[in-house]
Structure 1
Amino acid sequence: MAILLRSGEVNELETLHREGVSIRTISRLTGFDLKTIRHYLREGRPPRYGPRAPRPRKLDPFREYLEGRLRAGVWNAVVLLRELKERGYTGGYSMLLEFLRPRRRAAREVAVRRFETPPGQQAQVDWGHLGYLEEGEGKRRWVWGFVLTLGYSRAMVAEIALEQRLETLLALHEEAFRQLGGVPKEILYDRMKTVFVDLDERGEIRWHPLFLDFADWWGFVPRLCPAYRPQTKGKVESGIKYVKGNFVCGWQGSDFASVPAGLRRWCWEVANQRVHGTTGRVIAEALAQEQPYLLPITGHRHYPFVPGVRRRVARDAYVQYRTNRYSVPWELAGAPVAVQATEGRLDLYAEGVRIAVHEEHPGRHQLVTQPAHHQGMPFAPTGPPSPHKLHLQLGAPEVEVRPLASYERWSEGGQP
């Protein structure tokens, strides 16, 4: 029986044979026996074998679940592994990474169909680096651009910022709402630190609590740009490039103080007067059609931002700060408040109004109460116990009962 040869070895036999080398000589040169050489010269190439059927893998029963989580924007392998373990997965982390790796590449490279939003539905926000400011003595300060773009009309508001603090971000939002004449129903963000905190153990979004309160104040819903899908925010990112390429490079102002007003004027006299390359509409005219669909801002107060630590008032009308608990008016139970600490004094604010002042307690785990805060406070409601709570009644140890007069004599130095 002829032995099995590789394709390259068969090629060598055929080449020698075409060159007129005898079979016996080929056998001596290659080491193959005469029967094998004659077989391959007569039959040709060795048979090609198809790929083996893939063996079942531990991840196979969970593929549909994983695809669903990826569509929901959950790409964190640690989070996904924990969820799979809860569902009975017995494989390892490397097998999951092997599953995710090609899908992550595909998500980065896939061509994204442009998603057009109805009027008033969505806007998109981003920070972009515009350059730096020379402050003398070789010092430079970064200059940032804030861009908010409405998804339907492509109307753009662009503002200048010298830092990226949360209060600046909120103020720029309100300025954009004022210029546009309303608030979109939802706003899309990337993973800005002032907006996005992280994903919880279930892969759900954790927003910055103060920013979430700001969104609730104005009535819009924040949305997060999915991971590995930067194309989703192309309307804004191209707006940043447009500002850099058409305003920054052509700016003729003599000092930085004139830049914000110059940018705003350019935005409304140039950028929003052009015919948009994708929609084919004059942006200002499309904005006029979109404005009736925006949430109204007439009569709406500015967000009462107060710098400080954010806390929520407990049901018993106390706020915790550095392990101690401080009273507030009981009517504010459940409300968010800001705590400002200044030289041993705590000022507490709700919706921008100061509602309590305390001296900061030097101890730990102390209760600091102003009786007026809890005057008229109703008792906790009574009723049947919740079926979800466990109630245990423990037998108390028996103790000797003495009249109060015995303790009075003992405190005066006598015998009880």
Structure 2
Amino acid sequence: MLSREDFYMIKQLRQQGAFIVDIAHQIGCSERTVRRQLALPAPCKGRPKTPRPSKLEPFKNFIDGKLNDNIWNAEVIFQQLRERGYQGGRSILRAYIHPKRRLRPSNQTVRFETLPGQQLQHDWGEVRTVIAGQPCNVSIAVNVLSYSRRFHVWSCLSQDAEHTYQSLIEAFHHFGGVPETVLVDNQKAAVLSHHPRQGAVFNEGFQLLAKHYGFQPKACRPQRPQTKGKVERMVGYVKHHFFARYAAFDSQAHLNQQLLQWLEETADERCLRQFRQSPLTRFDDERPRLKTLPPTDFDTRYYDVRHVACDAYIEVRGNRYSVPSAYCGQSVTIRISLEGELSVYGIEGECIACHRLSQQGWQTEPAHHRALWQQTLQVETRDLRIYDEVSS
């Protein structure tokens, strides 16, 4: 087939008076082709190309089904297509999915604002850092006042119930009061289960904490983390601001000390764009609405019962600790603080022993076993004449 350039050259040569036979020799075609081109008003567009079938074509129904199931991750769909024999690349798959993203259900939610002193949101985060020269994972408990956006951060090595309760107590003292409600997610430290009709069933310890401080416990609906979006955002804020600035700490206490200093100097003074105020400024309106702290704090120590052996020792976490020998054979109550202080109580609630948890074997207080030693030293004495009678 002649090109567009050949068509216009034939026209030009003919206008210059060239013979058809000479034009055919110069172009390299037959005289009949030259006459046909001269009769055309414009060059032919050529034969339409037959489109090649796409490698994705046999799998489009499968892809559409995944999109209908709200699976929009192209990498996940690509791996599933590979398992079904797909030989194409990722780019053609992304090009097919991209125009359909406008049909994806929107995840936008309306921001819910609360009144001053009405709500506190609680959540945990985990960060990799260095303490005392050793890399480790630390947990950070973040508690945010929903109205002022002022928040408190407390770091520890566990996210169990006792540390959850202690983090809230630390936050209440930091704010100088207690809000009306505390919103948590469905962590086992606070929520045992969540029923569609009955709502959340709270942990007994969390209920006692709420009763002690006078707040109403509330839990997010399952798979609805945006309900507590304010605290979710602050967890990320701590990770990407504080831990990006401070990379190592001398101890856990040093980490919490640095957190408090950072809260005072940086976090409380940040500008909230939607309000054009700092959290500390908005907290002036929220402070009077907080409830007064109770005279004593909630006891967050671990609780358990132990039986005193005949040698006046009890077993706690694989080690043995002494108690007064008068309690041999009795049951005693133990309390373990988050700092590792062991307290032992008798039946009537009296404190009978205190120890520091250790991994160095048996912990003994000499005064506890003094009565046992006195009983052991009481040896029966006999007259030596008895042995003379036996030998004779």
Q: Is the 8 A contact 1:124 1:189 kept in 2?
A: yes
Counterpart selection for 1:278 from 274, 277, 283: 274
CA spacing shift, 1:134–1:267, aligned 2, 3 Å: closer
Instruction: Decide which structure has the larger Cα Rg and report it.
Output: 2
Counterpart selection for 1:346 from 313, 317, 331: 331
Query: Match for 2:278: what amino acid?
Result: V
For the residues of structure 2 that align with 1:144 and 1:261, how far apart are their CA atoms?
15
What is residue 101 of structure 1 aligned with on the other side?
none
What is residue 40 of structure 1 aligned with on the other side?
none
CA spacing shift, 1:344–1:207, aligned 2, 3 Å: farther
Matches within 5 A, 1:320-359: 345-347=330-332, 356=347
SS in 1 for 2:158: coil
Counterpart selection for 2:125 from 99, 124, 128: 128
What is residue 371 of structure 1 aligned with on the other side?
none
What is residue 190 of structure 1 aligned with on the other side?
185
For the residues of structure 1 that align with 2:139 and 2:274, how far apart are their CA atoms?
26
SS in 2 for 1:308: strand
Q: Is the 8 A contact 1:306 1:349 kept in 2?
A: no
Is 1:296 aligned to 2:259, yes or no?
A: no
CA spacing shift, 1:344–1:197, aligned 2, 3 Å: farther
Query: Match for 1:218: what amino acid?
Result: Y
SS in 2 for 1:178: helix
Is 1:222 aligned to 2:217, yes or no?
A: yes
SS in 1 for 2:201: strand
For the residues of structure 2 that align with 1:157 and 1:239, how far apart are their CA atoms?
10
Is 1:110 aligned to 2:107, yes or no?
A: yes
For the residues of structure 2 that align with 1:248 and 1:345, how far apart are their CA atoms?
49
What is residue 266 of structure 1 aligned with on the other side?
262
CA shift, 1:283, in A, is: 0.9
What is residue 233 of structure 1 aligned with on the other side?
228
Is 1:251 aligned to 2:246, yes or no?
A: yes
1:382-411 CA-to-partner distances (Å, cap 9, x unmatched) read xxxxxxxxxxxxxxxxxxxxxxxxxxxxxx
1:37-92 CA-to-partner distances (Å, cap 9, x unmatched) read xxxxxxxxxxxxxxxxxxxxxxxxxxxxxxxxxxxxxxxxxxxxxxxxxxxxxxxx
Q: What's the Cα RMSD here?
A: 3.4
CA spacing shift, 1:218–1:152, aligned 2, 3 Å: same
1:132-152 CA-to-partner distances (Å, cap 9, x unmatched) read 44677xx75320111100010
What is residue 175 of structure 2 aligned with on the other side?
180
Structure 2 gaps of 5+ residues are 1-102, 307-322, 336-342, 350-392
SS in 2 for 1:129: strand
CA shift, 1:278, in A, is: 2.9
SS in 1 for 2:108: coil
- Output the TM-score relative to the length of structure 2: 0.50
For the residues of structure 1 that align with 2:344 and 2:145, how far apart are their CA atoms?
33
SS in 2 for 1:115: coil
Q: Is the 8 A contact 2:129 2:247 kept in 1?
A: no
For the residues of structure 2 that align with 1:344 and 1:178, how far apart are their CA atoms?
42
What is residue 6 of structure 1 aligned with on the other side?
none
Q: Is the 8 A contact 1:349 1:355 kept in 2?
A: no
Query: Match for 1:226: what amino acid?
Result: R
Is 1:146 aligned to 2:146, yes or no?
A: no
CA spacing shift, 1:344–1:204, aligned 2, 3 Å: farther
CA spacing shift, 1:254–1:188, aligned 2, 3 Å: closer
Matches within 5 A, 1:376-395: none
1:118-167 CA-to-partner distances (Å, cap 9, x unmatched) read 0000010000012244677xx75320111100010001111111111222
Query: Match for 2:284: what amino acid?
Result: A
1:286-308 CA-to-partner distances (Å, cap 9, x unmatched) read 111100000011x5211134422
CA spacing shift, 1:212–1:278, aligned 2, 3 Å: same
Worse overlay, 262-271 or 157-166: 157-166
CA shift, 1:271, in A, is: 0.4
Query: Match for 1:220: what amino acid?
Result: F
Q: Is the 8 A contact 2:119 2:183 kept in 1?
A: yes
Identical-pair percentage: 29
SS in 2 for 1:247: helix
SS in 1 for 2:152: strand
Q: Is the 8 A contact 1:345 1:357 kept in 2?
A: no
- Output the TM-score relative to the length of structure 1: 0.47
Q: Is the 8 A contact 2:129 2:248 kept in 1?
A: no
Q: Work out the number of aligned pairs and report it.
A: 220
Q: Is the 8 A contact 1:107 1:228 kept in 2?
A: no
CA shift, 1:111, in A, is: 1.5
Query: Match for 2:283: what amino acid?
Result: L
SS in 2 for 1:127: strand
What is residue 199 of structure 1 aligned with on the other side?
194
Query: Match for 2:279: what amino acid?
Result: I
Structure 1 consecutive aligned stretches of length 4 or more whose deviation exceeds 6 Å:
none
CA spacing shift, 1:152–1:188, aligned 2, 3 Å: same
Query: Match for 2:270: what amino acid?
Result: R
